[in-house]
Amino acid sequence: MILNSACWGSTFIGTKSGIDALKAADVRNPGAVFGFLRFALAAFPLLPWLGRSSSLESAAMSFLVGLIWGTSYACTFVSYTLGTTGAKAAFITSLQSVVVAACTSIVAGRLQLGTIFSALLAVLGVAFIELNGALDPTMGDAVCMVAPIGVGIGWYVLDKNMKKYPNDFIPSVVIQFAVFTLIFALWLLKDYDHYDQDQGYQGQEIGSSNLGSLGSLGSLGIHWFRQLQQLPELLRTPNLLCPLLFASIFGNLLTMLAANVACRHLPVSDVSLIVTTEPLFAAVAAVCCIGETFSLGDCVGGLFIMAALLCNELWGETNDDTNEAKPMTAMKSDLSAAEERGRKVLSHEVDELLAKHRLELFRCLELEGLIHAVSVEQMPADLQSSAAISSCRPQVALRLLNDLAVRKLQPKLVTTQL
C-alpha cells in the first residue's frame, strides 16, 4: 500500500499535465474528458473479467464502491470549478482516514483511540504539506467535503467485500472502473458537443427542449459515434498520451488491483491511513519532476504523517472492527464468557462453538496450510460436509480443528472425544 500511495501521489502531476494538455488544445471540459479516458483505458484490459464475480452480492458491493468513489471523484472535480484549490482538496480528502476510524469504532461498539489519534496526526501532516495558510472557505470546499465521506465509506465497503470474497479482486476492480467511466461519461453528456469539421465544437445541453424526443436520443447516439471516431485524433493531442498512460496504468490499473488484494489482508484503518501519505509522495514527485523545492511545511507535514503510521503500528487496535479479520476472536470470547461464570467449558459446548465458528477456524487452517482453500459459497451449514469439501476426511478435519482450538485458546480447555 505504501508503493500504491507513492504511485497515487505521483499521479497528481500526471493528471494535471494531461488536463493542461487538453486545455491547451481547446478541448471543452478537459477534466471530465481526461477522467473518462483514464478510467476507460484502465478498464479495457480487464474487460474479460467483467461479470465473473463469484456471487451477485460481490458484484453489487463492487458496483456500490465504484458508485461511491466515482461520485467522490466527480465532486472533487466540481469543487475545482467553484474555487477550491488542488492543495485544499487534497487536505479535505485526507479526512477519509477519520471517516474510516469512525466507521470501525461504530461497528466495534467502542472508541478506538489509537486509530483515531493516528488518523488525526495524518490529517495534521497533510494540512502542513498542502494548506500553507490558505484557509479562505469557498463553496467548492463544501462540495469537496463529500469526497472524504465517500472515500472513507468506500474503503470500508471494499474491505468487507474483499474479506468475504477474496478471489473476486479482479472482477471487483473492473466493475469499479466501469462505474467510474460511466459517471464521467454522464458528466460529459451534461454539456455535450456536436462536432463540426469547419466550426469546431458547438455546445448543446441535454436539458434543452429539443432533446426530449426519440430523434434527439438518436442525435445523442450519433454524437457519441462521432466522438469515438475522433478518439484517435484526441489521443494525438500534444503532451497528452504519456501522462494519460501513467495515470491510467500506475494510478489506477496496477494500484487498484494491489489495493483490492491488500484489503484482504490488512485492517481497513491501516489501509486508509497509509493512503494519507499520498500528498507526501506528491511533494517528492514535484521536487523530482518539475523542480519544486521542499518547504518547511512539507518537512513538518512529512514528520507528522510518519508519526501517524508509527502510532498506528504501536498503539493501533489489535483487532479490526469485526471478528472476521482476526480468526478465533469470537470463539475465544464465547469460551472466556463461559469461564467467567465460574465453571469449565464442557465438551458439548466446544462442539457447538466449533460449528458456530467453523468459518473462522477454516480460515485459520487455510493460513496454516492444513487444508485447501474453501470459499464462503462452497461452505455448507454442516461441518462434516465442509471438511469433505476441503479434501480431508471429516474425522481428520475435526481433530485438526480441535487441536487448533486447544493451541490457540487455552490449555485447560476440555476437548471433544473423537
Burial of 338 (0-12, 13-18, 19+ CB in 10 A): middle
Compute the average pLDDT of residues 27-36: 82
Report the C-alpha gap between 203 and 205 in whole angstroms.
7
Query: Is the residue at 231 inside a domain?
Result: no
Q: Does a structural domain hold residue 225?
A: no
Distance CA 56, CA 87 (A): 39
The pLDDT score that the predictor gives to residue 159 is 84
Whole-angstrom distance, CA of residue 314 vs CA of residue 147: 29
Domain identity same for 124 and 20: yes
133 and 56, same structural domain?
yes
Same-domain pairing of 243 and 340: no
Please check whether residue 122 is in contact with residue 273, taking contact to mean a CB–CB distance below 8 angstroms.
Answer: yes
How far apart are the C-alpha atoms of 246 and 244, rounded to whole Å? 5
Beta bridge partners of 196: 200
| 18 and 124 inside one domain | yes
Task: Give the end of a domain, one of 315, 344, 373.
Answer: 315
Q: Residue 240 and residue 301: Cα distance in Å, rounded?
A: 32
Q: What percent of the chain has pLDDT over 90?
A: 4
For residues 43 and 89, membership in a common domain is answered with yes
| Residue range(s) defining the domain that contains residue 368 | 327-408
* Dist CA 40 CA 237 (whole Å): 17
* The three three-digit cell numbers of residue 324, written as one number: 472476521
Cα 224 to chain centroid distance, Å, stands at: 30
Pick the last residue of a domain from 281, 315, 349: 315
End-of-domain residue from the set 284, 315, 346: 315
Give the type of residue at 202: Q
Q: Say if 223 falls within a structural domain.
A: no
Residue 125 lies in a domain: yes
Residue 320 covered by a domain? no
Q: Is residue 218 part of a domain?
A: no
Tell me: do 282 and 348 sit in the same domain.
no
Q: Tens of pLDDT along 72-127?
A: 888 887 777 677 766 667 777 777 777 777 777 777 666 667 767 777 777 777 67
Cα separation values, 79 from 5, 128, 137, Å:
23, 21, 12
| Residue-wise pLDDT tens digits, 329-365 | 444 455 455 544 444 545 555 556 555 555 555 555 5
Decide which of 385 and 69 is more confident.
Answer: 69
Residues 333 and 292 in one domain: no
> What's the pLDDT at 266?
72
- If one compares 136 and 36, the residue with the highest pLDDT of the two is 36
Higher pLDDT, 62 or 231: 62
Three-state secondary structure readout of 180-191: HHHHHHHHHHHC
The answer to whether residue 215 is domain-embedded is no
* pLDDT given for residue 383 in this prediction: 39
What is the average per-residue pLDDT within 126-132? 66
Overall size of the chain counted in residues: 418
Query: Do 177 and 56 share a domain, yes or no?
Result: yes
Residue 346 sits in the same domain as residue 402 = yes
Residue 403 has what pLDDT?
Answer: 57
Residues 276 and 382 in one domain: no
Kindly report, residue by residue over 397-414, the tens digit of the pLDDT: 455 555 555 554 444 333
Query: Could you give the CA distance from residue 396 to residue 27 in angstroms, rounded to a whole number?
Result: 67
Closest CA to 200 of 221, 230, 232, 225: 230
Contact status, residue 35 vs residue 188, Cβ threshold 8 Å: no
Evaluate whether residue 195 is within a structural domain: no
**Same domain for 337 and 309:** no
Whether residues 58 and 90 share a domain: the answer is yes
Residue range 292-317: mean pLDDT, rounded:
68
Q: What is the mean pLDDT of residues 183-206?
A: 56
100 CB-near residues (< 8 Å, 6+ apart): 119, 152, 155, 156, 268, 269, 272
In the chain the first and final C-alpha atoms are separated, in Å, by 44
User: How many domains does the chain fold into?
Assistant: 2
Distances (CA, A) of 35 to 18, 237, 251, 385: 10, 15, 12, 49
Cβ–Cβ < 8 Å for 183, 73: yes
Helix, strand and coil in the chain, % to nearest 5? 75, 0, 25
